[in-house]
Structure 1
Amino acid sequence: MINSVMPRLAQLVNSVWLRNLRRRRAEKRRLASNQPHTITVYLRLNDAHSYLLLQVLAQFAQRYPVSFDFRTVLNLQEDMYPAPALWQSNAFADGAHLAQCYNLRFPSQPPEASRETTLQLTAQLLHWELQPGYLEHALALFDAYWQGQGENLSRIVDSNISDHWECYSHHLQANEAQLKQQGHYLSGMLHYGGEWYWGINRLEHLELRLNEMGLQQDQSMAVLFDKNHRDFCGQTLKARRSDAGADSVNAIVIYWSMRSPYSYLALLRGRQLADHYQVPLEVKPVLPMVMRRMQVPATKSGYITADVKREAEKYGIPFGRIADPLGAGVERCYALFAYAQSNGLGLRFLQSCAEGVWAEGVSAASDSGLQLLVERAGLDWNQARPLLCDDSWRLWAQDNLAELYGHDLWGVPSFVYGSEAHVASKVFGQDRLDRIEQAIIEDLGQRTTQ
């Protein structure tokens, strides 16, 4: 009974209808309290996404009648960041890419600052929160910090504040507690009307929401922050296999988890990318974090599901009727992956499984559900079923994980294209498939001119 009810309940919880109902209620409460359209913005000085977001907020406020409630944070929630150093490195690479896309300022090297210096500068930001002009002051401080302008920092910062940064510790704790209480963990976040928007990566969703409310000042209904996917698979360049041979064409490698909804989007979009440019696609599954005895707090999983829903809607991918495959569902599908590969149907099988558990409410833990997923991928259930007892897949799943770490990546989905010596690109998250596409275009462009 539970197995049949939960997918329907998930479908309702993730429905556009319920989301729009929540939005109408949020707007009704705002009007009843006679409040302006206020966006709470959580910024962290040493966060690349916060720096980029800060640069576009003034322009955003010119387009929409919104005000900002700025909240400075600093300390990461440890249970939300399994590999903070790798996260920071990846965020810097993301920042450089996004800065190029949107013509924003960004350094060639990460800023260097001691913990005490960061605390002192954070205290100055906290002080400005309670004064007019935070946006302008903060942007000048962020610029000086990220561009290594020590002299400018000394002119910007009040020594009465920086020398007594401990006096702002409770203020900082209050901001960080509010971020957690409101249901998030990242910085560079905007919170409006009960929904979260992560920096430039998700600003288009806020644009669309405000446009639907009729708030855009020029009534153009334009969306500016969609460049990372606007022209996805827009070029016609293809691999010249007749010249180079199929084996010499670089493959897109996806490190993937069946329980990751972002991996579901990544697989479908990755297949689209590979098909468009006629390059190979290789999927390397790993065990989900929980099955590797790691923590995934409820706050994190709740935000991820809501975010995947709107991303799936953006790409025209069905999502929301969920049958969580954690445990047996994952294990049974992984046990059959080698069989599917031996029949040349590995990708089709994984896609069938992912669509089943994330969009159709099919239980991969049941024989009837798994049989459906197997047979529609073109495989024989009678041949597949005996293989469910073979757990040799656990060896390659852990090998894939070690290989992922070897690329200085830590989570799924992650993509690797090319080699270190030839147009290498390594990215975390389906958001950065545009960087993989750039690497493919560069690679194939070189091949066609050789």
Structure 2
Amino acid sequence: MTHQAELYFSFRSPYSYLAIGRYRQLTEEYDLSIALRPVYPLAIRQPDFFERNHPNWLGYTMRDMLRVAAFHHIPFGPPKPDPIIQDMATRKIAEDQPNIRRVTRMGQAASRRGAGLIFAAEAGRMIWGGQENWHEGGHLDRALEAAGLGVEEILAEVDSDAEALDAEIAANQDALEAAGHWGVPTLVFENEPFFGQDRIEMARWRMELQGLEAR
């Protein structure tokens, strides 16, 4: 029996990136299907979050994400550009955010077709793995192709159905909170949330208790 889980994910979250490749590997090694549920990052949902956070938060997070990537041998480089347009000196978030909205809508369109996990893993590697100008030059098109999706179809849908996609993305956030958490990455398995890139092994353990088997 194929077990089902949902992964709540943000394309701006380094920890989402650091988790998704390992979750993808689980679906390849075990009889498991993980549905991607993309959400907009805190910078969109709570623009003042970074302005009111502790001054040490950013420095610690940068240090931690780098060591997590090194520990797991995951390619990692600062996004070029950051999916969020932000003044790093003041931490103020710009009102217009074309990059994060476009890639998140692409992720939701891929999720509509059951291909969100692969698209997000491929796009995440471009954003966080060091691909310069990941938002241009057809890089995201290749992520769509890797997920078995039609590039023209998805891009047309992102443009023509943006409002409905955004409503689905907002519903993903509501579902995440209803499941008992608010942040990403969070895997939900049988209504139990597992938050963070450091809960993957625990999630697998829980699934194995429920009969998850290797392929």
- Normalising by structure 2, report the TM-score: 0.79
Q: Which has the higher helix share?
A: 1
Match of 1:439 among 191, 206, 215: 206
> Residues 35 and 111 of structure 2 are in contact (CA less than 8 Å); yes or no, is this contact kept in structure 1?
no
> Residues 37 and 108 of structure 2 are in contact (CA less than 8 Å); yes or no, is this contact kept in structure 1?
no
**What is the letter of the counterpart of residue 17 of structure 2?**
Y
Match of 2:42 among 270, 275, 289: 289
> Residues 325 and 363 of structure 1 are in contact (CA less than 8 Å); yes or no, is this contact kept in structure 2?
no
Q: Please give the alpha-carbon distance, in whole angstroms, between the structure 2 residues aligned to 1:293 and 1:363.
A: 26
**What is the letter of the counterpart of residue 358 of structure 1?**
W
Deviations 1:392-415 (A, max 9, x none): 211111111111111221211112
| Equivalent in the alignment of 2:101 | 331
Matched, 1:366 2:153: no
| Equivalent in the alignment of 1:322 | 79
- Deviation of 1:311 after TM superposition, in Å, equals 0.8
> Residues 320 and 359 of structure 1 are in contact (CA less than 8 Å); yes or no, is this contact kept in structure 2?
yes
What are the equivalent positions in structure 2 for 1:405-444 lying under 5 Å apart? 405-419=177-191, 425-444=192-211
> Residues 286 and 400 of structure 1 are in contact (CA less than 8 Å); yes or no, is this contact kept in structure 2?
yes
| Equivalent in the alignment of 1:356 | 126
SS for the counterpart of 2:120 is helix
| Equivalent in the alignment of 1:396 | 168
> Residues 322 and 360 of structure 1 are in contact (CA less than 8 Å); yes or no, is this contact kept in structure 2?
yes
Which stretch has the larger CA shift, 360-369 or 317-326? 360-369
Assess, with a 3 A threshold, how the Cα gap between structure 1 residues 331 and 362 changes in structure 2: closer, same or farther.
farther
Q: Please give the alpha-carbon distance, in whole angstroms, between the structure 1 residues aligned to 2:143 and 2:132.
A: 8
Ranges in structure 2 where 5+ consecutive residues have no aligned partner: 85-96
SS for the counterpart of 2:32 is coil
**What is the letter of the counterpart of residue 340 of structure 1?**
A
- Deviation of 1:259 after TM superposition, in Å, equals 0.3
| Equivalent in the alignment of 1:145 | none
What are the equivalent positions in structure 2 for 1:174-323 lying under 5 Å apart? 241=1, 246=2, 249=3, 251-294=4-47, 295-296=49-50, 297=53, 299-323=56-80
Q: Which has the larger radius of gyration?
A: 1
Deviations 1:249-295 (A, max 9, x none): 3x222111110000001111112223322211111111100111241
Ranges in structure 1 where 5+ consecutive residues have no aligned partner: 1-240, 420-424
Assess, with a 3 A threshold, how the Cα gap between structure 1 residues 369 and 428 changes in structure 2: closer, same or farther.
same
- Deviation of 1:334 after TM superposition, in Å, equals 2.1
**What is the letter of the counterpart of residue 71 of structure 2?**
K
- Deviation of 1:316 after TM superposition, in Å, equals 1.5
SS for the counterpart of 2:210 is helix
| Equivalent in the alignment of 2:115 | 345
